[in-house]
Structure 1
Amino acid sequence: MQVAVLGAGAWGTALAGHLAARHPTVLWARDRALIESLSQTHENERYLRGITLPAALQYEPDLAAALAHGAAEDALCVVAAPVAGLRALCRNMRELGIVPAHIVWLCKGFEADTQCLPNEVVLAELPQHASNGTLSGPSFAREVGQGLPVALTVASASATLGERTVAALHHGAMRIYTGDDVIGVEVGGAVKNVLAIATGIADGLGLGLNARAALITRGLAEMSRLGVALGGRAETFTGLTGLGDLILTATGDLSRNRTVGMQLATGRSLTDILAALGHVAEGVRCARAVLALAESHGIDMPITHAVCRVLFENVAPRDAVHALLSRDAKAE
């Protein structure tokens, strides 16, 4: 199977390396200097330093050529751009006249300006496209690049897209499950990043393991309430793309969103933290959208609200935690 991976960040690079073990795979990036470096060193020194990529993996600076590689009925196109770049990439496909038959995206979050989930962005830009879906689950790119075990879920209304994604990725140490709750999977992937910032703040303040467990559990309740209100199924949030991804992102030391929270707890400014991070922290990008959607649907999300106050209203992390602890008692 020919596979094109669009986006050479940490996750796109790691997944391209996994794919290249079985399939003719092309990795595209908009940064030509990055593509040249990858071609010469077989290592993504910017985003995945220390991981040697398979010799069979090909690198392509030209988007049209990469799209053509993954455009056929028996091929697959993996979109590894962040949510902020998804709409532009879909428009580029349309403008170039090369829309792959089967598209699966990896991004997690809400589009900041529109509050759209990734599937809504794709539908708006490629309205006639049918075989598409999202791949999500608890996964650190570095561990995937190292060949360590991981389990993911592909969610799509198209059985064909699910089958093609499984055929491409279900080998070695990677297990792929299938489902059709695209909204539930995407809401889980977005909200867990915001909750990981909250957990990082609590850990950075030294509030203990009891507090961490409470935040994860009550955060899962927030995620589920919003997801069901938006059209997802409740059971999705107890699976890999809900609880599984939340546990990993809220507790793992490789989590960028958790790192943001821990750094905020030390008093560092958000600007300085993001500049030093060098990677996208989707929880920061989509926190406002999550809160706005919750408010418009009448959903109570106090943890998300507290995170937004710290991120965007200069509220001290300890004060935000105190406000959470001061809430009235209620039934679980």
Structure 2
Amino acid sequence: MTTFAVIGAGAWGTALASTLAGNGPVTLWAREAEVIDTINEARENRLFLPGITLPAGIAATANLADLATCDMALIVVPAQHLRGVLASAAIPPATPLVLCAKGIEAGSLKLMVEVARDLVANPLAVLSGPSFAAEVARGLPCAITLACADAATGAALVAAMARPQFRLYQSDDVVGAEIGGAVKNVLAIACGVVEGAGLGLNARAAMIARGFAEMTRFGVARGARAETLAGLSGLGDLVLTCSSENSRNFRLGVGLGQGRPLADLLAGPAVAEGAATAPVLVEAASAAGVEMPIAAAVAALLAGAPVRDTISALLARPLKAE
């Protein structure tokens, strides 16, 4: 029986813990005392995943030392906090780490695997794909990518984590899985803006298609395979998060499109990763010589540019072949 550590008790970390508890005991690390108390005493994460009853096999803790004996660890913290958490976690170097954050580190422009490699020697994998936390926690079907450069390690992780309703597809394209997850959050904000501004379904479909083209250009420039970006961790996740207000990034975009203040939209415990990723992505794309006008428009909106002017600037771009 595999023992699991999950670092990060937000909605996604809690949902993963709930799923993995069917395969073995889970130690779930959280910062918030109220989260730990409600999980251990009421079997519910009332702050981040209310209304979902959690299995008895989950034990929440604030002590990172409690994770040291687990067979594998999932790191489910916001991308910009990954470096700090890994520096403190002190997980034994033989323990595989599955990185579940979706983003690019500000300043370094590094993907999550690159950040982790700066700090640890553990075997690394990336989990990414279309997966709303509440649906996973309720046991609804989900298919997702587990990317690992080492095939044997990847196969072992897939075998340990898979459930009948939680289907894992193994890949060795770690860069592709990472870039799909990071870029789709930014594009989900763009699609939310289209919704919030009342621009219609035709405009949203165009945004998804042209956004996918941007994702592919950037991914290939960074060493990803185009077929990975056309799979679950790229196009699959893009379609999901650009189509539903269950996506925090989409909801953020809706609010921006309606003209609501950014500070109000970012308030609350949940994190919309695309807000931090957008300006970093634009910087990384520029460094790679890749044009990403939609990502640049999102970054501009987050910096305070008027919605109508930003949309008009996108529509006024020179006509070109597809």
Aligned to 1:47, what secondary structure does the other structure show?
coil
Check whether the contact 1:103–1:161 (CA below 8 A) recurs between aligned residues.
Answer: no
Aligned to 2:245, what secondary structure does the other structure show?
coil
Aligned to 1:194, what secondary structure does the other structure show?
helix
Structure 2 gap ranges (5+): none
Quote the residue 1:260 is aligned against. 252
Distance in 1 (CA, whole Å) between partners of 2:294 and 2:91 is 44
How far 1:193 sits from its partner (Å)? 0.5
Q: TM-score, normalised by structure 2?
A: 0.97
Q: 1:132 aligns with which of 120, 124, 127?
A: 124
Quote the residue 2:283 is aligned against. 292
Check whether the contact 1:194–1:287 (CA below 8 A) recurs between aligned residues.
Answer: yes
Aligned to 1:119, what secondary structure does the other structure show?
helix
Check whether the contact 2:27–2:66 (CA below 8 A) recurs between aligned residues.
Answer: no
1:163 equivalent to 2:155? Answer: yes
Call closer, same or farther: CA 1:97–1:181 in 2, change over 3 Å.
Answer: closer
Call closer, same or farther: CA 1:235–1:154 in 2, change over 3 Å.
Answer: same
Distance in 2 (CA, whole Å) between partners of 1:252 and 1:100 is 39
Quote the residue 1:58 is aligned against. 59
How far 1:97 sits from its partner (Å)? 6.6
Q: TM-score, normalised by structure 1?
A: 0.94
Aligned to 2:73, what secondary structure does the other structure show?
strand
Distance in 2 (CA, whole Å) between partners of 1:82 and 1:280 is 7
Quote the residue 1:201 is aligned against. 193
Post-superposition Cα deviations, 1:264-323, rounded to whole Å, max 9, x if no partner, equal 111111111111x531001001111100011112111111111111111x2111211111
Distance in 2 (CA, whole Å) between partners of 1:134 and 1:204 is 32
Q: 2:204 aligns with which of 196, 209, 212?
A: 212
Aligned to 2:241, what secondary structure does the other structure show?
helix
Distance in 1 (CA, whole Å) between partners of 2:91 and 2:7 is 16
- Number of equivalences: 321
Check whether the contact 1:195–1:219 (CA below 8 A) recurs between aligned residues.
Answer: yes
Quote the residue 1:80 is aligned against. 76
Quote the residue 2:273 is aligned against. 282
Post-superposition Cα deviations, 1:117-158, rounded to whole Å, max 9, x if no partner, equal 1000011111x33x2110000000011011100001100112
Q: 1:104 aligns with which of 55, 78, 98?
A: 98
1:249 equivalent to 2:241? Answer: yes
Call closer, same or farther: CA 1:310–1:48 in 2, change over 3 Å.
Answer: same
Distance in 2 (CA, whole Å) between partners of 1:168 and 1:311 is 40
Post-superposition Cα deviations, 1:156-181, rounded to whole Å, max 9, x if no partner, equal 11223312221222113110000011
Aligned to 1:251, what secondary structure does the other structure show?
coil
Q: 1:89 aligns with which of 85, 89, 96?
A: 85
Check whether the contact 1:77–1:100 (CA below 8 A) recurs between aligned residues.
Answer: no
Distance in 2 (CA, whole Å) between partners of 1:136 and 1:216 is 18
1:15 equivalent to 2:9? Answer: no
Quote the residue 2:111 is aligned against. 117
Q: 2:305 aligns with which of 315, 322, 327?
A: 315
How far 1:91 sits from its partner (Å)? 1.2
Quote the residue 1:144 is aligned against. 136
Check whether the contact 1:133–1:157 (CA below 8 A) recurs between aligned residues.
Answer: yes
Quote the residue 2:317 is aligned against. 327
How far 1:199 sits from its partner (Å)? 0.5
Distance in 2 (CA, whole Å) between partners of 1:235 and 1:202 is 27
Quote the residue 2:179 is aligned against. 187
Quote the residue 1:48 is aligned against. 49
Residue type at the aligned position of 2:51: G
Post-superposition Cα deviations, 1:181-229, rounded to whole Å, max 9, x if no partner, equal 1111101100101001110001111111110110000000000101111
Distance in 1 (CA, whole Å) between partners of 2:129 and 2:187 is 15
1:238 equivalent to 2:209? Answer: no
Aligned to 2:52, what secondary structure does the other structure show?
coil
Structure 1 gap ranges (5+): none
Distance in 1 (CA, whole Å) between partners of 2:136 and 2:258 is 30
Identity, % of aligned pairs? 47
Check whether the contact 1:20–1:56 (CA below 8 A) recurs between aligned residues.
Answer: yes
Distance in 1 (CA, whole Å) between partners of 2:81 and 2:93 is 16
Q: What stretches of structure 1 move > 6 A for 4+ residues in a row?
A: none
Distance in 2 (CA, whole Å) between partners of 1:97 and 1:38 is 23
Distance in 2 (CA, whole Å) between partners of 1:27 and 1:145 is 14
